[in-house]
Amino acid sequence: MSDYMRRLPVYLLLDCSGSMSGEPIEAVRQGVKALLSELKGDPQALETAYLSVITFNSSARQVSPLTELMAFKEPELNAGGATALGGALNVLMDCVKNEVRQSTATQKGDWKPLVFILTDGAPTDIETFKNAISNLKNIKVANIIACAAGANADTTYLKQITESVLMMNTLSAGDMAQFFAWVSGSIKMSSKSIDAKPGEAIQLPPPPQGFVIVP
Amino acid sequence: MESKRTEKATLVDGSTIEYVVKDNPPKGGMKYTYFTPDKKYVVQFFNDPKNANDINIHKRLEAIVGKYNPTLSEEKGGSRGNTQLAADYFSSRFCWPKSLIKSPEFGIVCPAYPSNYFFSENSTDIEGYKDILKGKDKKSTYFTSPKLSKYLKSDELGDFRSMLSLSINLARSIRRMHQAGLAHSDLSCNNVLIDPQKGTCVVIDIDSLVVPGLYPPEVIGTSGYIAPEVLETMELPIDDPNRKLPSSYTDLHSMAVLIYEYLLKRHPLKGPKVYSTESAEKDDFLALGPKATFIENPVDKSNRPKDLTYTIKDLGPELEKLFIRAFVDGLHSPNERPTAMEWEKGLVKTWDMLSQCSNSKCTHKWFVLHDPQKPICPYCKTKIKAKEVVRLKLKSRVRGRNGQWIDAGEINCYDNMPIFKWHIYSNCFPDEKAERDLQASIHYYQGQWIFVNRGIAGMLSPSGNIVPIGQAVLLSDGSSFQASNDEKGYLIEASITRW
């Protein structure tokens, strides 16, 4: 049966630059743990959602390949280095190309991937970032939600990636926990796809209190 | 840190109920939930204040709690003609709203569902998953999805017989609702909790019912369970005459999907066929809406999976016919769908055709032995050990034509099989009102099959003599006798197939 079970691929792009060291990166670790536990408790998410983690500091790499939830191993997250957000977008595009099944006349494709980007700064690889953005715009591969965390996060770059940008004021454990709870809520909602309207924008739950949607 | 405090709500009758307020209470599509301190009831408020103040929702809920309530006898303000026996029966099959809250704001009180509908720490062997699963509702996807069920302990999964039992339960509950003119409107894997171990189910989220004469709720249902015509027309304005809204007809689609999933562990419409390569959304919309094709459509095989090892044919002729009517004839023609009553009858008839698999390791343990010439379990391919199949044909009198009988059902006999009133009298049906005291029993005794009278007045032997209680008739191939000389009594014909 598995050949035509449509999957919901979810990519987390996590900032692991030097500024995230200490409490913030620990909060992200706890967040991923909580996210996984929350999703494993939801039968629809268990059935359809597949998770991958891409981290970025001075360079970017996929630390967890797209895996079903029960088999997913939490990645080791360590902070240090710069903010290669552009590189992360390139890795994302490669992963989507390689891992997400496209519809063909004989094969059912996956759902459009859901991508969550969490960063506390601004890209340090500006040229790469600019190129990545133009490539990303052309292919429209995914529903991307970006979250700017803390006072130093620059939302103008994120706005170039996607319309959906959130801002949380602090990098505190509490805010981070809320963010990951919201991410799991969004994934659950998408995996239920209550409104299976063709071509409609995906519906996400309202962001947590204290988070601002950047217009 | 999580804070907890106890608050008091006032019900419409003026009495009060306490509930425990927690941060981040469990939230559904419409409402959020708190428990009473003893956890026997839940107190629910609406997410959206617009709903809490909506006069149509108030009226609908008043009707649901009162005059349409099948879990309350007529005497106690429940639905018309409802006896205490029926009310008790349905109390455990529905999580029916009990009363309405007027302050601090409009809300409802429901019984909490019984503990057997929650997973325990013993439901899985997988470390790390135990804590996650513990306390979660037993939504049917956990059991019907092969991907999920492999993480559960095998005794959680029940067997084919218990899945058939809970299918009967569901059909009965929906039949009861439809009899009253109510429609559930959102039957799905999330709104019917199942206990495959016990073979029971409970229908929850009763507050979005369609109540006769009142405004329908604005739900369209849950993906995978929405009737094709509802999905197809969901973009039209709500008052457009072509827009199809949830009704008892759409319930009949959702219910058939659930029963198919319970018995065959797959979705009836999700096959390999690609309807559109444009997008997954478009493909899904066509696959579940306007172009929906049953994976087991006997003519159009475009959506048929290659790896179907067992099919609706293995469920016996009654269920095969019902599934064809639901997913071929009635898929795009709502009036052709079998009613809940027809499902209930077909499922009950199928129950009497069950045979135990001789392979103790068989995952299904039971199967429908519909062809005595092929006594092979369709799931593990084991041939039954017994050397013969003893089958009883039940025949009822044709009214006004003396001596003429028509087929009314069949029973596959097994040792120590109980026989109830509905096996004896054509006017008895195993519903919520049926008396379940033993009428007779079938035994394999000293190399022969016997039918022992345990309480039938007027049971006759093949030669027409009264068989007193405690006495038996021998079941031999071709023999027939009247189970009761009452006008409604069945004629029973035995046949024995040996190989």
Q: Do A104 and B278 touch (CB under 8 A)?
A: no
Residues 6+ apart with CB under 8 A from B47: B27, B30, B31, B32
Tokens of A7: 């999957």
Query: What is the distance of C-alpha B452 from the center of its chain?
Result: 32
* Banded pLDDT at B497 (limits 50, 70, 90): very high
Instruction: Output the domain CATH number for residue A166.
Output: 3.40.50.410
- On whether residue A99 sits in a domain, the answer given is yes
* Banded pLDDT at A186 (limits 50, 70, 90): confident
Q: Residue A53's domain spans which residues? A: 8-213
Contact B164, B57 (CB under 8 A): no
Q: Do B142 and A105 touch (CB under 8 A)?
A: no
Does pLDDT of B70 surpass 70?
Answer: yes
Q: How far is B328 from chain A (nearest CA, A)?
A: 21
pLDDT of residue A194: 46
Does pLDDT of A201 surpass 70?
Answer: no
Residues of A in contact with B147 (CB under 8 A): 2, 5, 46-47, 68
Please, is B186 exposed, middle or buried when counting C-beta atoms within 10 Å of its C-beta (0-12, 13-18, 19+)?
buried
What is the average pLDDT value for chain A, to the nearest integer? 88
ipTM of the complex: 0.89
Q: Do A103 and B278 touch (CB under 8 A)?
A: yes
Task: Give the count of domains, chain A.
Answer: 1
DSSP E strands: which ranges in A34-142?
Answer: 49-56, 60-68, 114-119
pLDDT digits (tens, 9 = 90+) for B92-122: 999 999 999 999 999 999 999 899 999 999 9
Residues of A in contact with B228 (CB under 8 A): none
Residues of B in contact with A197 (CB under 8 A): 234-235, 281, 285
Does pLDDT of A160 surpass 70?
Answer: yes
Residue B217 DSSP one-character state: P
Q: How far is A186 from chain B (nearest CA, A)?
A: 13
Q: How far is B148 from chain A (nearest CA, A)?
A: 7
Does pLDDT of A199 surpass 60?
Answer: no
Instruction: Say how far apart CA B173 and CA B180 lie, in whole Å.
Output: 11
* Planar angle of CA B201, B207, B212, nearest 5 degrees: 105
The predicted model scores a pTM of: 0.93
As a whole number, mean pLDDT of residues A118-135 equals: 94
Residue A181 DSSP one-character state: H
Q: Do B285 and A196 touch (CB under 8 A)?
A: yes
Tokens of B217: 């709720």
Indicate the fold that domain B121-351 takes in CATH. Answer: Transferase(Phosphotransferase); domain 1 (1.10.510)
pLDDT digits (tens, 9 = 90+) for A12-43: 999 999 999 999 999 999 999 999 999 999 99
As a whole number, mean pLDDT of residues A146-154 equals: 89
Better-predicted residue by pLDDT, A208 or B299: B299
In the chain, the amino acid numbered B251 is D
pLDDT of residue A176: 87
Does pLDDT of B482 surpass 80?
Answer: yes
Instruction: Say how far apart CA B293 and CA B302 lie, in whole Å.
Output: 8
Residues 6+ apart with CB under 8 A from B54: none
pLDDT of residue A215: 73
Residues of B in contact with A103 (CB under 8 A): 274, 276-280, 283
Instruction: Say how far apart CA A45 and CA B132 lie, in whole Å.
Output: 13
Instruction: Say how far apart CA B400 and CA B402 lie, in whole Å.
Output: 6
Q: Do B222 and A196 touch (CB under 8 A)?
A: no
DSSP A9-26: EEEEEEE-SGGGTTHHHH
Residues of B in contact with A196 (CB under 8 A): 223, 226, 231, 281, 284-285, 288
As a whole number, mean pLDDT of residues B249-261 equals: 98
- On whether residue A193 sits in a domain, the answer given is yes
Portion 244-283 of B in contact with A at CB < 8 A: 266, 270-272, 274, 276-283
pLDDT of residue B239: 86
- On whether residue A3 sits in a domain, the answer given is no
Q: Do B147 and A46 touch (CB under 8 A)?
A: yes
Contact B458, B484 (CB under 8 A): yes
pLDDT digits (tens, 9 = 90+) for A68-115: 999 999 999 999 999 999 999 999 999 999 999 988 988 899 988 999
Q: How far is B82 from chain A (nearest CA, A)?
A: 35
Does pLDDT of A195 surpass 50?
Answer: no
**Percentage of chain B with pLDDT > 70?**
99
- How many residue contacts between A and B have a Cβ separation below 8 Å? 93
Q: How far is A122 from chain B (nearest CA, A)?
A: 33
pLDDT digits (tens, 9 = 90+) for B10-48: 999 999 999 999 887 888 778 899 999 999 999 999 988
CATH architecture of B386-498: Sandwich (2.60)
* Banded pLDDT at B136 (limits 50, 70, 90): very high
